[in-house]
Amino acid sequence: MVVTFALPKGALLKDSIQLLQRIGFDFSAFLDSSNRQLQITDPTGRAQALLVRSQDVPIYVSFGQAQFGIVGEDVLQEKPAAVAKLVDLKFGRCHMAIAVMKDSPYRSVMDLPPHCRVASKFVRSATRYFRELDLPVELVPLYGSVELAPITGMAEAIVDLVSTGRTLRDNGLIEIEFLYESTARLIAHPLSWRLHDKAVQDVVSQVRSHLEQGT
């Protein structure tokens, strides 16, 4: 059986490829800037990989086009899909946070006025969080640089993914609330996992062994 991985474009790709190299699969061709292929086969012929947007990784896995995917927890929180979350891969660490302008009067979420505007790419996560607080806000969906929303006065706060925090600092924003931590996760097609397919089980065992050894 040829095992198929859905790999995410962007920040997680290099670490994902390095992890798979350590368990015997080489998809380093995706790191070649001259490469335009979106599907490649490992030189051993035992596996292939699809290069897709991170938001699409769970979709390819849930539809069975890939047995495995590597994707951030933030994507799984924002776009739930019928996948089995198997292993926390420990890389790609970041967190979801609420931020405001540092010269604003807000120093906690409960300082935000009811029905204020909150901008975010992560509308589902933001909606769930404010609903749990029973704090009514107007969510403004943005898909570019959400930091501009409070700078221009369009929103009082933002909900965004934070890694080093430099972008916030450079734009005069500060965090006032931590929502959840996100790291890369190994996910699998639920039927493949439940049926204890040997190729699938072997990959998971190898990944877990690698992480336990810390190599």
DSSP character at residue 113: P
What does the pLDDT profile of the chain (215 residues) look like in tens digits? 789 999 999 999 999 999 999 999 999 999 998 889 999 999 989 899 999 999 999 999 999 999 999 999 999 999 888 899 999 999 999 999 999 999 999 999 999 999 999 999 999 999 999 999 999 999 999 998 999 999 999 999 999 999 999 999 999 999 999 999 999 999 998 877 666 667 788 888 999 998 888 65
CATH architecture of the domain with range 3-92+183-213: 3-Layer(aba) Sandwich (3.40)
Question: Can you count the helices (H) and strands (E) in the chain?
Answer: 8, 11
The residue extents of the domains of the chain are 3-92+183-213, 94-181
pTM over 0.75? The answer is yes
Spatial contact of 89 and 23, defined as CB atoms under 8 Å apart: no
Reported CATH class of domain 94-181: alpha beta
Those residues whose C-beta lies under 8 Å from the C-beta of residue 110, and which sit 6 or more positions away, are: 133, 135
